[in-house]
């Protein structure tokens, strides 16, 4: 499925106009998506990629850069971050949202499956994680989702292999833990709104390892 960025940008103006006026997001996506004939992937880009100035301002102070992580503990929204990393590796559409966070258009959270790319991406992550100088890193995966147990085993194996301080756990409600954390790695807007600080781990790895020229909606919206 292709993504037409010109169509998305045109639709984003109506989308943000209605969003600022308090209409429900689902209704706005349906109205604007239908008007501009957006496919499902393009609607995901609109939802995940475009935020009001008020929303962006509220998140800006929470986003922590690489040089501000030394000695801190990081709690990772496991599926959220891993799926974004894998999406880029698979050649799917990955972009920089108007709040500066790297996101993808995948809708595979509940139907996630392990693949050869999973270990490849995790190896790249753990080969580079030392440069963040974290005190520890803990990954949380949703217990009800298939493969969560196996994913935890794989992540914990790499944590041991690479001598990283931390671990991986399958829990019933990662969001509850993440919302109450001092520092999280996620692109979930709700979690970002409640957590103390946010680091774009997926975006950091993608930029560091593959050095792509991602489409940046911050500049296209100016």
Asked whether the predicted pLDDT for residue 1 surpasses 70, the reply is no
Distance of CA 41 to the CA centre of its chain: 16
Cα 10 from chain centroid? 24
- Tens-place pLDDT, residues 152-196: 999 999 999 999 999 999 999 999 999 999 999 999 999 999 999
Q: Indicate if the pLDDT at residue 104 is higher than 90.
A: yes
Band of residue 108 on the pLDDT scale cut at 50, 70, 90: confident
Mean pLDDT, rounded, for 195-200 = 98
Strands of 94-96's sheet in order across? 102-104, 94-96, 215-216
Q: What's the rounded mean pLDDT across residues 106-130?
A: 92
pTM tops 0.85, yes or no: yes
- Residue 110 has what pLDDT? 78
Say if residue 9's pLDDT is above 80. Answer: yes
Q: How many CA atoms lie within 13 A of 110 on its CB side?
A: 0
Tell me the per-residue pLDDT of 65-91, one tens digit each, with 9 for 90 and over: 999 999 999 999 999 999 999 999 999
pLDDT value at residue 44: 96
Asked if residues 181 and 195 have their Cβ atoms less than 8 Å apart, the reply is: yes
Provide the terminal-to-terminal Cα distance of the chain, rounded to the nearest Å. Answer: 27
Dist CA 121 CA 154 (whole Å): 12
């Amino acid at each position: 499925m292709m993504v037409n960025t010109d169509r998305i940008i045109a639709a984003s103006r109506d989308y943000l106009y209605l969003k600022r006026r308090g209409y429900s997001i689902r209704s706005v996506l349906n109205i604007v998506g239908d008007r501009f004939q957006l496919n499902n992937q393009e609607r995901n880009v609109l939802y995940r990629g475009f935020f009001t100035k008020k929303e962006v301002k509220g998140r800006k102070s929470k986003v922590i850069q690489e040089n501000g992580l030394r000695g801190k503990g990081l709690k990772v929204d496991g599926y959220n971050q891993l799926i974004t990393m894998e999406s880029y590796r698979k050649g799917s559409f990955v972009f920089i949202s108007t709040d500066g966070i790297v996101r993808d258009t995948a809708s595979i959270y509940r139907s996630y499956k392990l693949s050869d790319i999973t270990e490849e991406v995790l190896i790249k992550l753990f080969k580079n994680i030392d440069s963040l100088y974290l005190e520890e890193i803990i990954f949380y995966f949703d217990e009800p989702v298939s493969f969560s147990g196996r994913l935890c085993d794989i992540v914990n194996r790499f944590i041991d292999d690479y001598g990283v301080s931390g671990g991986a756990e399958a829990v019933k409600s990662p969001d509850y833990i993440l919302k109450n954390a001092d520092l999280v790695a996620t692109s979930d807007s709700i979690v970002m709104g409640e957590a103390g600080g946010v680091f774009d781990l997926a975006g950091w790895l993608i930029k560091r390892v593959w050095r792509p020229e991602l489409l940046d909606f911050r500049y296209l919206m100016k």
